[in-house]
Structure 1
């Protein structure tokens, strides 16, 4: 027993075996947090890019007729958002809600003219819909945006407002995080004159909000 107590030939191996689980846990936690931040930034980019692209619809139209928003236009900008979300399984774990926030010329109220959605995650807009809760029907809409100062549309203009929801799944499951539903918003004022009266024109829309 005395010889065993004096024997130090395996001390380094034992110390390494004791410390390794702690070091490994810290490293894996760092990787998980870094991945979560990367996903969070990607969602923010999707929200801002989609709102920006939607605000530019009709900007390159050289005809003398003021352009409208068509179902084809919406299909194109939504397709761009899907490309940005590649690798996130967004179709099943996410939800994008694109809203046209406008000002009613008769009442001066803010209201939702139309909405289009992508993704099967069970989420609805935090602000309303384009039918029973559009600001003219149901509760009055002060504006949109999660901050204290709400975003509003001016007379004869519109704001393209985007909400992005995503069910996060950690690289290591729920070992370090509880897999929250992430939420991001983006908004851009339309860039050029746009005929808002008809709402969305054309047929073949692939992104109804259900």
Structure 2
């Protein structure tokens, strides 16, 4: 009997401690946070990635619009001749693209394709000249330089059924911009993302559309580098 009582007391004390421990909620929040914090971090970084993708898409669209607008404003010349488009003027448009795209590493991961859409002698649409900037290896989705030089089979540039066309005696500066999105942290989750956008502006005033030797552009001395698409 004397041995049984101490054993019962020990069992009772142990049971009481277990009950108190089971009812103790002082550390519950710490345990819950240990489970939740990794998920919150994951969701937070995912939100940053989506925001960065959205911002990059908007920037690329705005860069394309600015490039087309700037190209449409080129008007080098004097009162004795019609305004001309020089290769150095085109290169300055691309310099503006690089300035706007700071932080995107656009030169290595993107490309701008600038086309002069005009009317050919037969009344059809014609890509008279085309210039490119950026190392991304992509071609125009709507035609290369010289497309539509004769005949009327070329409908214009843009999505089928909604092509942009040029009127007689004028030209449309059509820009295609392509960029390989550079993810912050979730590249494997997002997968390859290519951002594409187009923009078109009619030239602001009449130009010498024939150009030097019929090329559509001029390159007087000292000659500037030609930003060809090949």
Equivalent residues in 2 for 1:190-201, closer than 5 Å:
190-198=203-211, 199-201=216-218
Please name the residue that 2:181 is paired with: 168
Comparing 68-77 with 91-100, which one deviates more in the overlay? 68-77
Note the C-alpha offset of 1:138: 10
Residue 96 of structure 1 aligns to a residue whose secondary structure is strand
Give the distance between the partners of 2:225 and 2:90, measured in 1 at CA. 8
Q: Does structure 1 residue 6 correspond to structure 2 residue 54?
A: no
Q: Normalized against structure 2, the TM-score is what?
A: 0.83
Deviations 1:11-55 (A, max 9, x none): 000111122222222221111111111111110111000100000
Name the one with the larger helix percent.
2
Moved more, 145-154 or 85-94: 145-154
Q: What's the counterpart of residue 177 of structure 1?
A: 190
CA–CA distance in structure 2, aligned partners of residues 7 and 175 of structure 1: 43
| 1:122 Cα deviation from its structure 2 partner | 1.1
Q: Does residue 78 of structure 2 align to residue 65 of structure 1?
A: no
Q: How far is the alpha carbon of 1:101 from its aligned partner?
A: 0.4
| Secondary structure at 1:169 match in 2 | coil
**Runs (5+) with no aligned partner, structure 1:** none
Matched, 1:124 2:132: no
Deviations 1:155-174 (A, max 9, x none): 01100000110000210142
Query: Take 1:174 and 1:5, find their aligned partners in 2: how far apart are those partners?
Result: 44
Distance 2:62 2:160 in 1: 19
Instruction: From the superposition, tell whether residues 147 and 176 of structure 1 become closer, same or farther in structure 2 (CA, over 3 Å).
Output: farther
CA gap 1:209/1:150 in 2 versus in 1, 3 angstroms: same
- What is the total number of aligned residue pairs between the two structures? 206
Q: Which runs of 5+ in 2 are unaligned?
A: 1-17
Q: Which has the larger radius of gyration?
A: 2
Provide the secondary structure at the position in 1 that maps to 2:178. strand
TM-score (norm 1): 0.91
Tell which has more relative contact order, 1 or 2 (C-alpha 8 A, sep 6+): 1
